[in-house]
């Protein structure tokens, strides 16, 4: 029973973090049609910068480290857009029918570059950002770090703010409209490049927050880049490409599956069950759990 409760608590936190990161990943695809395979790099860069500022090198305050880490996530997202995605989208040398696979490959290579760069600068040893709060609480009799529960709460608060932004602000409604009918939105006088810049900044913000929170919970290292990208890809495809609610549902499915695998089998293969599930879902329901036909 104790193990079950521990799995439920850890799965809740992991699912919330995955949902936070996957929400931005999904919005990017929904608006610009880009599957960013450097996604894990955005999160790990944010985590490593937070660690450097708050404890590893500069020994500044934790708040300063968190802010710098989130900012680094946004910078990495914008660098991905301006240095890789946008040039490929505008290049006349790339045939239209090959553009998507070119961008997919380019972002994958960028993720590898980020991973190797972090390993070269800081080695592949994991680092940990200091916890946001200290102490332990009892959840149904299970001793749980207060920081772990706070991470889950913060993740859902950020997701709630995202919902308010998309549904209650003019810019957010424009983002939603761009994911449904970009040409119609352009006819109404909205500048699509401006919407894309906004979306990539929003993506970097969500990925940066998720990366920093993850580093206070499980730590971060260069080796996480590929795993985080794989988990995000599985989540958005499983939930339904372009569906944020689907991504949130899938994030918890994957989060609990990975947690159970890590506890009962081995952390080394925690992403394997999610990949198997994705293959099965693609055979039965190719559009994903909440995707449109």
Is the C-alpha dihedral spanning 170, 29, 76, 15 positive or negative? positive
Question: What would the pLDDT profile of 97-140 be if each residue is shown by its tens digit?
Answer: 888 899 999 999 999 999 999 999 888 888 888 899 988 887 77
Q: What is the pLDDT of residue 293?
A: 57
Residues 65-100: pLDDT tens digits? Answer: 999 999 999 999 999 999 999 999 888 888 888 888
Q: Are 37 and 222 a contacting pair, CB within 8 Å? A: no
Average pLDDT, stretch 135-158? 87
Report the C-alpha gap between 78 and 191 in whole angstroms. Answer: 18
User: pLDDT tens-digit profile of 32-46?
Assistant: 888 899 999 999 999
Mean pLDDT of the chain: 89
Going by their DSSP bridges, the two strands 142-145 and 136-139 should be labelled as: antiparallel
Handedness of CA 99, 102, 103, 104 (dihedral sign): positive
Q: Nearest-CA neighbor of 56 among 192, 253, 220? A: 220
Sign (positive or negative) of CA dihedral 64, 70, 74, 80: positive
Q: Does residue 137 sit in helix, strand or coil?
A: strand
Residue 76 vs residue 184, higher pLDDT: 76
Please report which confidence band the pLDDT of residue 199 belongs to, taking 50, 70 and 90 as the band edges.
Answer: very high
């Amino acid at each position: 029973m104790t193990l079950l409760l521990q799995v439920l608590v850890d799965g809740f936190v992991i699912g919330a973090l995955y949902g936070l990161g996957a929400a931005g990943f999904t919005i990017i695809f929904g608006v610009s049609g880009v599957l960013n395979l450097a996604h894990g790099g955005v999160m790990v860069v944010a985590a490593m910068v937070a660690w450097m500022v708050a404890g590893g090198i500069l020994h500044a305050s934790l708040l300063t480290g968190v802010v710098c880490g989130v900012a680094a996530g946004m910078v990495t997202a914008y660098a991905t857009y301006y240095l890789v995605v946008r040039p490929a989208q505008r290049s006349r040398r790339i045939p239209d029918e090959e553009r998507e696979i070119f961008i997919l490959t380019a972002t994958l290579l960028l993720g590898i570059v980020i991973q190797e760069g972090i390993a070269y600068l800081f080695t592949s040893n994991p680092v940990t950002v200091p916890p946001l709060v200290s102490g332990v609480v009892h959840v149904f009799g299970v001793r749980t770090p207060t920081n772990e529960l706070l991470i889950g709460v913060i993740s859902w608060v950020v997701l709630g703010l995202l919902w308010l932004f998309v549904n209650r602000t003019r810019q957010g409604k424009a983002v939603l409209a761009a994911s449904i009918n970009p040409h119609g939105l352009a006819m109404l006088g909205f500048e699509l490049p401006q919407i894309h810049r906004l979306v990539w900044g929003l993506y970097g913000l969500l990925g940066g927050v998720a990366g920093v929170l993850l580093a206070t919970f499980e730590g971060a290292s260069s080796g996480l880049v590929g795993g985080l990208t794989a988990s995000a890809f599985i989540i958005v495809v499983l939930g339904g490409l372009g569906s944020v609610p689907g991504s949130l549902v899938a994030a918890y499915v994957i989060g609990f599956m990975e947690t159970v695998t890590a506890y009962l089998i081995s952390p080394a293969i925690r992403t394997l069950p999610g990949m198997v599930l994705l293959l099965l879902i693609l055979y039965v329901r190719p559009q994903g759990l909440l995707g449109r036909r």
